[in-house]
């Protein structure tokens, strides 16, 4: 799967060099979603993801793409960098089902999510059916931390 993500990232980089971030006016809503999905899955390329985030922020600020695209990529990068996320878009398996990675302010996150048209954290949690053993949770978190170090998200 990494090879597919890497090839897609290389193609997106070429596109970004040619036209900048693909906007709704340029490629339609499906095209912007596809570019965003590729950027979201370029997880082995921290600098490229950060570059995409800056382009997505600019396009969002101009109103050229949907604002949730910035929320998703910003949260993912923040999680990989070991920072709390702002919109609660990134989740992981836990012993009680899916749980969000740490969030900066639990008292305001649902307001930010609703402003983007996203369900509340409780609504998301209610959709969860996967419960992991504590052993699996610990193993998954250790493997993720090792991967984040290896790829260069954290030192």
Q: Could you state, in order of their start, the residue ranges of all structural domains in the chain?
A: 1-66, 67-155
pLDDT band at residue 44 using 50, 70 and 90 as cut-offs: very high
- Cα separation of 101 and 77, whole Å? 12
- Cα separation of 67 and 55, whole Å? 12
Please report which helix (H) or strand (E) contains residue 20, including its range. none
- pLDDT at position 2: 86
The tens digit of pLDDT for each residue in 96-135 reads 889 999 999 999 999 999 999 999 999 998 887 778 999 9
The tens digit of pLDDT for each residue in 47-104 reads 999 999 999 999 999 999 999 999 999 999 999 999 999 999 999 999 988 999 999 9
Structure token pair of residue 101: 């990675």
């Amino acid at each position: 799967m990494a090879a597919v993500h890497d090839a897609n990232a290389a193609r997106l980089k070429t596109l970004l060099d040619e036209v900048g971030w693909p906007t709704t006016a340029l490629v339609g809503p499906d095209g912007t979603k596809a570019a965003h999905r590729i950027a979201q899955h370029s997880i082995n390329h921290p600098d490229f993801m950060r570059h995409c985030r800056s382009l997505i922020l600019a396009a969002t600020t101009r109103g050229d793409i949907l604002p949730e695209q910035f929320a998703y990529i910003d949260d993912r990068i923040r999680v990989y960098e070991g920072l709390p996320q702002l919109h609660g878009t990134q989740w992981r398996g836990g012993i009680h089902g899916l749980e969000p990675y740490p969030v900066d302010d639990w008292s305001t996150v649902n307001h930010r999510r609703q402003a983007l048209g996203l369900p509340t954290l409780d609504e998301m949690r209610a959709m969860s059916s996967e419960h992991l053993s504590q052993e699996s949770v610990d193993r998954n978190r250790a493997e993720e931390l090792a991967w984040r170090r290896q790829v260069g998200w954290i030192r």
